[in-house]
Amino acid sequence: MSSMAHPAQLGFQDATSPLMEELLHFHDHALMIVFLISVLVLYIITCMITTKMSDKLILDSQEIEIIWTVLPAITLILIALPSLRILYLMDEINDPHLTIKAMGHQWYWSYEYTDYEDLSFDSYMIPTQDLTPGQFRLLEADHRMVIPVESPIRVLISAEDVLHSWAVPTLGIKMDAVPGRLNQTAFITARPGVYYGQCSEICGANHSFMPIVVEAVPLSHFEAWTALTLEEASL
């Protein structure tokens, strides 16, 4: 499957990693709370505008002041607790099966598979005139970051020159690439597919033209790909 945004899309892309599923659930949870608050406030405003009567118990009442202080506090707790849970889950990196170093350059990405000797390559955007039927303009790269499916992957992210940001929305990942600093993130892909992202930090003239393409394949296909890539590199 291929995961990317489509025209007039209102929501998020379909989740491919367990973490992105959690983020989607939290988004729906928070949106429902915002919706209920909006309805309540609209109802109160409508009542105040349309009625000529006033109640002295509402104008000066200790009880109602307690209620409208405690209720928002409870609401904030209901948002904060699941938010903090996901925040800590996003920092968890448990025994990754594979480590990949992604380096941002002006204006392309380079990938180093640090568990292998000499397995590294640059990933440039395919120009519009070179695209084949079915490929996506501004999103296809000449070399994809290939990973095994259902395996914990750690990505080390840095930059060679200016600030970049390595982002793949369907995986729920956006991590700044900072020169002289090594950031890390981790993810698991739930199913095979091709997942698209773009640099998400303004980095100069060709900022829009350095896409990220992650291809998740079964382990046997990944092993065949690494063997082929290493063979080509040795030649």
Query: In which residue ranges of the chain is CATH 2.60.40.420 found?
Result: 98-234
pLDDT value of position 214: 94
Using CA atoms, how far residue 229 sits from 14, 67, 103, 109, 146, in Å, is 30, 65, 19, 17, 11
Cα(231)–Cα(225) distance, integer angstroms: 10
Burial letters for 205-216: b for 16+ Cβ neighbours within 10 Å, e otherwise? eebeebbbbbbb
pLDDT value of position 48: 83
pLDDT value of position 58: 67
- CA angle at residue 228 from 223 to 234, to 5 degrees? 125
Given CA atoms 133, 134, 140, 144 in this order, what sign does their dihedral have? negative
- CA angle at residue 112 from 158 to 212, to 5 degrees? 65
Identify the CA nearest to 167 among candidates 102, 222, 88, 107: 102
> Which residue ranges of the chain lie beneath pLDDT 50?
none
Using CA atoms, how far residue 81 sits from 25, 103, 107, 219, in Å, is 13, 34, 39, 37
pLDDT value of position 10: 85
Cα(70)–Cα(72) distance, integer angstroms: 6
Provide the 8-state DSSP code for 159. Answer: E
Domain 98-234, CATH homologous superfamily name and number: Cupredoxins -  blue copper proteins (2.60.40.420)
State which amino acid sits at residue 196: Y
SS (H, E, C) 170-184: HHCEEEEECECCCEE
Cα(153)–Cα(217) distance, integer angstroms: 13
